[in-house]
Structure 1
Amino acid sequence: MIKLAIPKIELRALKYGYANARVGSMKGSLIDEGTYDELIRVRSVEGMAELLQRTVYKEDLIASSAHSGSEIIEIASARNFSRTAKKLLHIVPKEDLPAIKALLRKWDLLNMKTIIHAKMKGVKYNDIKPYLFDIGSSEEWEQLMKAEGDELFNEVKKTSLGREMLSVGTAAFSKNMWEIFNNALKNMNTFVQLESILDAYTYLFMDKGLVEVGGKEIEAIRKILKKEIDVKNILIIERLKRHKFAKEEIPKYLIKGGTLKHSFIEKLIDAPDTQTLFQLIKTKFRRLEIKESESPSLIDLEVALEKALAAEKTTAFHMSILSLGVVLGFILLKEEEMNNLRKIAKAKEFNIPENEVKEMLVMV
């Protein structure tokens, strides 16, 4: 009896059909442009929260009701993102879990940043707990907060995240990197450098997990993540230049792993004004649209870069069919939604005009 091979498209349907259908349903629950307009128009954060009660954020807003102002939106959006991420972990095929977990490592490392920064500022664990993302190593954060002085570095190494960081054996993440990390934990003046190190680990972990799974759509996601590093590095360069950092000092604060070559980074550092900087960046981000202005600001640049990157994320989602790329692309879109809600809430507290708020948002 001759056995007929199952066509590839049918194999993909069997493997990803359920997960992709669930994600398609979740995408239908993302906030649309009309709802964003309503959220911008309401006069207060309280009014914004009331509107969001009609959406998938209802449960999260109720759980965050002890807080007020923009904090309720910040905490509720983090809770909603965490809940969504956990759902995705349960619907993807087991062999693809490393890629999903790798992409979500970003939030564990963000939690570590929050914990370390809180310790340096003398903030207590219960005060920051609502702001942490409940995705991975949540049970270890409280123990980390209890560490004192030099113990902090040792406690970091004991966490599952710390052990994973130690296991990375590339030239970029050597013993010297850990020494810098340890020193940064003791000195608030080097916190910017510590953040750069944690960001570097973030992208290394994400890339490592994606490579493990592989595939055409995965390569598109990897490319987007490298572009994210480029965006962060461009903004780091400009901020440090404005704080009068010496040119030769700036490179050590940059995140490793992006696509920008050393020669291009030098050009960015040497750019005498924002207009020159924009012209350079346009050669790397084709979809970059800068608002015409005699003196465009750093905020204009940041928003423009976010939008250019978001366009690539949206493309990655829509080009993926019956694949893990649909799930990974959705995580990126959900992150943009969370960022948009936080921007709107903060804008209300600072009385930023509606038209300016709308320009700040990244529509996906």
Structure 2
Amino acid sequence: MAKQNKKAYNPLSLFASVLTFKPLVYGYANARTRAMKGELLKKSQVLDLLGAKTQSGIIEMLSHSPYKDSILALSLRFKNEELIELSLGQNFASNAQKLLRIAPLQSRPALLAFMERYDILNIKTILLSKRIGKKGEEMAHFTIGAGSLSFTDLKTMWELPDALSVLNYLRFCEIGQKLFATQSFAKAKASVSSTSSDSYEILFHMLDSYYYSAATAAITGSDRDSALLRSIILSEADAKNTLTTLRCKGAGMTTAQILSHLVTFGNLQKGFFESLANEKDLPSAISTARTKFGLSQKNASLSSLETELESKLASTSLHALSFSMMSVGAIAGYLFLKEEEMNNIRKISRGKALGLSNEQITQMLVFA
């Protein structure tokens, strides 16, 4: 009788399976993330801020929330809108760094790539401030220290004299080295040196292209949550390309010029944006975009479309990520929620400062 071949016992295979067992790998991070979600402001609490008559009133209300420590730490040096902006940014950065510390090692590359969105936003804000001649201390509170750029990096760039100096500084930062490994530094320099009205759009296109490429490439898993995160990032690219197309059309650009400003990522095909650019006028193009994204035709303004697109994307993304358990999707879901909370409070503070009515401000708020 022939002997049966028995597979040799390999203790390392059991060890490997334990290391990849999701409840073990993600259990602690999942529990901490769930606890952090419990500290997010409820929709009613955010809307209550509309009742504040002054910036001091908003600060007083936030002082009884998880923002209290940031407000207390900064209140001796800053006041009013600046104190609110800085407290929001500091709190967000603190929570983002906490997520990185508790995230399992295997999920950190994807999470870090996802968080480079804040680096790109910060770089754009700094470059724009240089273009319009704003001083660092006037604009520094608009940055978010949640990406790879440290507060020291951000402070240094704010204090540099011009956009070209910022680009030269970026070359020695981690994000800049990765950026200019795929994008032309000479083209970036030419962009900030040009007097053309759309020169910075070329540079911002380079920044966006880098982010969408790096973020989708870093999320390499074949599981449901990896696919979901990639889809969310691509949907963001679709929304950005749609709004870019409409803004460029409103500025009178040709179809060829418009298409050159789009990032080559997303779920929507180039043909859709081409047809959008070829619409007879801007209202017709906005109507087509609304139909494409399943939005009602109640408002023909571009600003309303932007708010509704942001709201729809946030709602869809967060609904999908709410089913994520024991994965990087659950961690990313918290970041989405926290970012929207911060943005809503900023809109209320800035809206109050500009004298907007509560109704006008409410229309700009985004809730999942």
The question of a shared fold, defined as TM-score above 0.5 by the shorter chain, is answered with yes
Partner of 1:185: 192
Supply the AA of the counterpart residue of 1:311.
Answer: S
State whether structure 2 residue 207 is matched by structure 1 residue 207: no
Shift of 1:167: 3.1
State whether structure 2 residue 245 is matched by structure 1 residue 245: no
Q: 1:83-138: per-residue Cα shift (whole Å, max 9, x none)?
A: 11000001111111101111111112222223323333444445444433223222
Q: 2:172 aligns with which of 130, 153, 158?
A: 158
State how far apart, in whole Å, the 1-side matches of 2:179 and 2:80 are: 36
State whether structure 2 residue 140 is matched by structure 1 residue 140: no
Partner of 2:267: 259
Q: 1:217 aligns with which of 225, 228, 234?
A: 225
Query: 1:184–1:193: 8 Å Cα contact kept in structure 2?
Result: yes
State how far apart, in whole Å, the 1-side matches of 2:67 and 2:82 are: 14
Q: Give the 3 Å change call, closer, same or farther, for CA 38–151 of structure 1 in structure 2.
A: closer
Partner of 2:5: none
State how far apart, in whole Å, the 2-side matches of 1:320 and 1:154 are: 41
Q: 1:17 aligns with which of 16, 20, 27?
A: 27
Shift of 1:284: 3.8
Supply the AA of the counterpart residue of 2:89.
Answer: A
Shift of 1:157: 2.0
Partner of 1:362: 366
Q: 2:342 aligns with which of 317, 331, 338?
A: 338
Q: 1:43-82: per-residue Cα shift (whole Å, max 9, x none)?
A: 2222112111111111222334333443332222111111
Between 1 and 2, higher relative CO (CA 8 Å, sep ≥ 6) is seen in: 1
Q: Give the 3 Å change call, closer, same or farther, for CA 161–17 of structure 1 in structure 2.
A: same
Query: 1:316–1:325: 8 Å Cα contact kept in structure 2?
Result: no
Query: 1:289–1:304: 8 Å Cα contact kept in structure 2?
Result: no
Q: Give the 3 Å change call, closer, same or farther, for CA 221–149 of structure 1 in structure 2.
A: closer
| Structure 1 segment 302-341 matched on structure 2, within 5 A | 302-341=306-345
Shift of 1:11: 2.4
Partner of 2:284: 276
State how far apart, in whole Å, the 2-side matches of 1:57 and 1:142 are: 22
State how far apart, in whole Å, the 2-side matches of 1:263 and 1:25 are: 45
| Structure 1 segment 27-42 matched on structure 2, within 5 A | 27-42=37-52
State whether structure 2 residue 97 is matched by structure 1 residue 86: yes
State how far apart, in whole Å, the 1-side matches of 2:129 and 2:304 are: 30
Partner of 1:58: 68
Shift of 1:37: 2.1
Q: 1:73 aligns with which of 63, 84, 88?
A: 84
State how far apart, in whole Å, the 2-side matches of 1:131 and 1:221 are: 26
Shift of 1:202: 1.8
Moved more, 180-189 or 81-90: 180-189
Q: Give the 3 Å change call, closer, same or farther, for CA 33–96 of structure 1 in structure 2.
A: same
SS at 1:158's partner residue? coil
Supply the AA of the counterpart residue of 2:68.
Answer: K
Query: 2:209–2:264: 8 Å Cα contact kept in structure 1?
Result: yes
Query: 1:147–1:155: 8 Å Cα contact kept in structure 2?
Result: no
Shift of 1:289: 4.2
Instruction: Name stretches of at least 5 consecutive residues in structure 2 with no aligned partner.
Output: 1-7
Partner of 1:235: 243
Give me the TM-score of the superposition, normalised by structure 1: 0.87
Shift of 1:348: 1.0
Partner of 1:301: 305
Partner of 1:98: 109
Q: Give the 3 Å change call, closer, same or farther, for CA 165–28 of structure 1 in structure 2.
A: same
Aligned residues: 352
Partner of 2:4: none
Larger radius of gyration: 2
Q: 1:258-313: per-residue Cα shift (whole Å, max 9, x none)?
A: 22212111111122345533443245424x345x24xx211111111111101112
Supply the AA of the counterpart residue of 1:24.
Answer: R
State how far apart, in whole Å, the 2-side matches of 1:346 and 1:148 are: 26
State how far apart, in whole Å, the 2-side matches of 1:342 and 1:356 are: 14
Query: 1:52–1:58: 8 Å Cα contact kept in structure 2?
Result: yes
